[in-house]
Amino acid sequence: MRLMQTLLLLFCLTGSSLSSWAQYAFSGEVSSQTWEGELYLSLVDNYRKLSGIHPEQIINKTIADSSGRFLFVGDNLHPKNNIYRIHIDNCPDNTNSLQHFSGHCLNSEEILFIARNTDTLALPLGFDKELFCEVRSTNKKAAVFTRLDSLREVMAFEFSKTQSQANKQLNADKWIKSFQKFGQELDEPLAELYGYALFSDRSSQLFSFYLNDLEDNAYYQALEQRLEQQYPNHPFTQQYRNELLADRFLLSQTKPKSRLWIWLIAFLLLSVLINGYLIYKRKNRNATPVPIASLTAQEEKIVQLILENQTNKEIATSIFVSLSTVKSHINNIYRKLGVSSRTQLKDLFSK
C-alpha cells in the first residue's frame, strides 16, 4: 500500500507517466469512509453498455488503500483510442448475482473516459470529496464524456419542464442537433456514439424523434464514414453500421402503405395484446395483489422500468430526471413496498 501511495503521489505532483512500471497508469482517489468495494476497469466494447458492470468487459480490478487511493497499471490496452470505464460500488456480496453485475446497485459511481495503452490518467477527488468529477490525462480526448454528461443533464432538466408534444418535438430536434454539433467539435467519433446511443435507444421516448431525424439528416452517413476512416476494424464501427441499416429498414416500414397492410398489422398487434392479456389474467388469477396503491405515478413508472431491467441511468434518461432523483424514488419505492433490493421487487411482482 505504501508503494502505491508513493506512485500516486509522484503522478499527481509531477504528471509522471510511470512508464518505468507499465505502459498505462490510471490512478485516483475515493473517500475511504464512504467507499469500501472493489474498483473495476472495463473496456467498453458495446456502446449500448456504457453504464454498469458487465463481466465480459472487465479487464482489471483493484481496491483502494487505507487513504482512498487506487491505481490500475498494465500493458494490455489497445494502442488506439478506446472507451474505458472505472466503476465502484458498495453492493454487498449476496447481491452480486443481479444488482452488482448489472449496474443496479444504488450506491455506485462510475466514469467513462477515452484512453490508449500509453496514457496516464488521474481522477482526483473534487469539492466536498466528490467522486470522479475531474479527469486529468495525457490524452486530450480523455474527458469528452464528462462534458457530454453535463450536456445531457441540461437536456434532462429542459425536458422535465416540457409538457406538450409539440414542445417535446422542438426540444428533441434542438438537442439532437446540439449533441451532433458538439460531438463533431470534439473531433472524436467514439464520443459521437454517446449521443447516438442516447437518442437511438428503442426503449427511450426519444427514439421516434431520432427516426424523424434519420430520415433526412446526412449526419448519420457522415459519422459512419468518420468511424470507418479512424476505426475501420473497431467493433463499434460494425455495430453502428448494422444498427443504422436496421433503423433505416424500420423507417421504411413506417412510411404509408396500402390500407390492407395497415389493417393486417393492426389485427396482428391486437391479437398479440389480447392473448397476452388472457395469459396474464390466467397466471395471476389467484395471485396476491401487490401493494402499489401508495406509489405515485412516477414511482409506478420507475417500477415498470426496473422490471424491464433498465439501469438507474437508463431510467433517468427515459423519464428525463437526474440520476439522484431516480435513486431517491427507488429508495421510496423500496420503503413503501417493504423490499430492499431489485431482486425482491421483481419477486414481488412475479408472484
Are the beta carbons of 223 and 244 closer than 8 angstroms?
no
Position 102 scores a pLDDT of 53
Position 81 scores a pLDDT of 95
DSSP single-letter state for residue 288: P
- Topology, domain 2-142: Immunoglobulin-like (2.60.40)
Are the beta carbons of 63 and 17 closer than 8 angstroms?
no
Query: What values do phi and psi take at 27, rounded to 5?
Result: -120, 165
Nearest-5° Cα angle at 330, 30 to 150: 55
Bridge partners (DSSP) of residue 28 are 70, 123
Distance CA 111, CA 199 (A): 20
Are the beta carbons of 173 and 213 closer than 8 angstroms?
yes
Position 282 scores a pLDDT of 62
DSSP result, 51-66: SS--GGGEEEEE---T
Nine-digit cell at 136?
486529468
Position 19 scores a pLDDT of 43
DSSP single-letter state for residue 128: G
Position 133 scores a pLDDT of 86
What does each of the 351 residues of the chain score in pLDDT, given as a tens digit?
444 444 444 444 444 444 445 589 999 999 878 888 889 999 999 999 998 888 899 999 999 998 999 999 999 999 999 999 999 887 765 544 455 555 556 678 899 999 999 999 999 988 878 889 899 999 999 999 999 999 999 988 888 887 777 888 888 899 999 999 999 999 999 999 999 999 999 988 889 999 999 999 999 999 999 999 999 999 999 999 999 999 999 988 876 554 556 667 777 888 888 877 777 666 555 444 556 667 888 888 888 898 888 999 889 888 888 888 888 888 888 888 888 888 888 888 776
Burial of 225 per CB tally in 10 Å (0-12, 13-18, 19+): exposed
Are the beta carbons of 65 and 36 closer than 8 angstroms?
no
DSSP single-letter state for residue 197: H
Instruction: Report the amino acid identity of residue 66.
Output: S
Position 351 scores a pLDDT of 61
Position 284 scores a pLDDT of 57
Position 275 scores a pLDDT of 76
- Topology, domain 287-350: Arc Repressor Mutant, subunit A (1.10.10)
Bridge partners (DSSP) of residue 123 are 28
Nearest-5° Cα angle at 125, 119 to 129: 165
